[in-house]
Amino acid sequence: MKHCPNCLSSMHYSGEDYEVRYYTNLIKKHQGQSNPYLQRASNYIVRGGFTLALADLNKALELNPNNDTASRRQKLIHDKLKQKALMIKKILYLDVDGVLLGKNSLNEVTLAPYAKEFLSFCLENFKCYWLTTHCKDGEIENVIRQIKEYADDFVIGLIRQILPTTWETLKTEVIDFTSDFFWVDDSPLQYEIEQLKMNNVFHRWIEVNTRKCPDDLKRAMSILSWEKL
């Protein structure tokens, strides 16, 4: 995929509506309480935002494991997402550094803008796997530790829904080149790029670099919104 010219994107991604903002403010005001998370989850469910709802329900149960309503809804959404996953054929591989973690104007590491929207979009439309040096052993805890310093609990809830991978030397060891996949990464190794070209799938790499272009995830969503069709 081409570089982002001047980090511009033609995509407009709408912000949260009034009701979601209302419950988000409640969560900030009543920190440590599970009900605001449950209420926001219900709002997401009405709108079909099951991935977002699941992240909130997970947090509600973490705060109050005896919340029966949250537990029932969590199970229902798990079942619904499993059914949807069976229908989703497109695979998406995600990197961390330079993709979800970028740099701000002070050259400090930070969670990239649009990370929450990007993760939600990806989980709703693709079968997502980590393809990062922070996840080579089939476990995602290293990914969580790497991002937790920069992300809130909601984003961590989304991150936990992405599947781990196992590989040794090259990220391309994981990829089935005959599958319907896309790979979001800032800088694959030269040999990995050659592997893509040899298998005629170089176009399935989507170059994203949030260190140089902070809003690059917005552009990636625009590209993937066409590719998911």
pLDDT one-digit tens code per residue, 150-183: 999 889 999 999 999 999 999 999 999 999 999 9
Write down the pLDDT at residue 13.
Answer: 34
Q: What is the pLDDT of residue 87?
A: 63
Which residues of the chain register pLDDT less than 70? 1-16, 84-88, 228-229
Provide the whole-model pTM.
Answer: 0.70
Write down the number of H helices and E strands in the chain: 9, 6
**Which pLDDT belongs to residue 119?**
95
Q: pLDDT value at position 93?
A: 98
Per-residue model confidence (pLDDT) at position 47 = 75
pLDDT at 86: 63
Residues 6 or more apart in contact with residue 74 via CB below 8 angstroms: 54, 57, 58, 61
Contact 133, 82 (CB under 8 A): no
State pLDDT tens for residues 144-157.
999 999 999 889 99
What CA–CA distance (Å, rounded) separates 92 from 5?
23
The domains of the chain, with CATH numbers, are 18-86 (1.25.40.10), 88-227 (3.40.50.1000)
Cβ contact 111:100 at 8 Å = yes
Pairing of strands 109-111, 101-103: antiparallel
Predicted pLDDT at 16 = 54
Instruction: Provide the pLDDT for residue 135.
Output: 95
Distance separating alpha carbons of residues 177 and 193, to the nearest angstrom: 13
**What is residue 144's predicted lDDT score, i.e. its pLDDT?**
95
Find, among 35, 25, 24, the residue nearest to 63 by Cα.
Answer: 35
What is the pLDDT at residue 88? 66
**Cα 122 to Cα 134: distance, rounded to the nearest angstrom:** 19
**Structure token digits, residue 68:** 């029966």
